[in-house]
């Protein structure tokens, strides 16, 4: 029995460094940059689409804290990227869609997913890029937490 334990310990001692070397080699390789099929829209292209709002739908893929901190377009459907595929039934197919994130990274992934599922996608927008190009964003203030009070003083 002691021989088996010693052999297992020796095997673990010899094999473990091989796994560490492989993990280090994988970590050293640069991450593959996502190659989007959908276009990243400029401010001019977005403003042109905004001229016909009845035909347009913005889907903002950012977290709520990003929306309140940075701002966004006047009207949008808020769905985080991780929930997008589960929410396809709630997205109208009769509108041109622009997906939105801060710098269009998540938005490009979302736009590609929607296009693959048959939606009419104009492209992806980065709200911070849009604002840097001179576009105007709406700021959404989070609701103020109010202390609960007794609204029925006679009770």
CATH 3.20.20.70 applies to domain 43-132 = no
Task: Give Cβ neighbours of residue 139 (< 8 Å, ≥ 6 apart).
Answer: 68, 71
Residue 34: pLDDT band with limits 50, 70, 90: confident
Report pLDDT for 109.
Answer: 97
By CB neighbour count within 10 A (0-12 exposed, 13-18 middle, 19+ buried), where does 114 fall? buried
Residue ranges of domains in the chain:
43-132
The predicted-structure confidence for 57-109, as pLDDT tens digits, reads as follows: 999 999 999 988 999 998 899 999 999 999 999 999 999 999 999 999 999 99
Query: Quick check: 7 pLDDT over 50?
Result: no
Strand pairing class (96-101; 56-60): parallel
The predicted-structure confidence for 68-79, as pLDDT tens digits, reads as follows: 899 999 889 999
**Taking Cα atoms as reference points, which of 58, 38, 37 lies closest to residue 46?**
58
Quick one: which H or E segment has residue 127?
helix 127-132
């Amino acid at each position: 029995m002691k021989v088996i334990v010693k052999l297992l310990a020796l095997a673990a001692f010899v094999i473990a460094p091989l796994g560490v070397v492989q993990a280090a080699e994988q970590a050293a390789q640069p991450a593959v940059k996502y190659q989007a099929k959908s276009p990243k829209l400029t401010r001019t292209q977005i403003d042109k689409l905004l001229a016909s709002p009845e035909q347009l739908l913005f889907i903002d893929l950012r977290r709520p804290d990003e929306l309140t901190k940075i701002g966004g377009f006047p009207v949008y459907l808020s769905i985080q990227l991780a929930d997008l595929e589960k929410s396809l039934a709630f997205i109208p197919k009769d509108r041109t869609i622009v997906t939105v994130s801060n710098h269009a990274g998540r938005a490009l992934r979302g736009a590609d997913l929607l296009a693959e599922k048959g939606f009419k996608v104009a492209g992806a927008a980065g709200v911070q890029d849009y604002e840097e190009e001179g576009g105007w964003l709406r700021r959404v203030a989070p609701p103020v937490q109010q202390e609960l009070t007794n609204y029925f003083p006679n009770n």
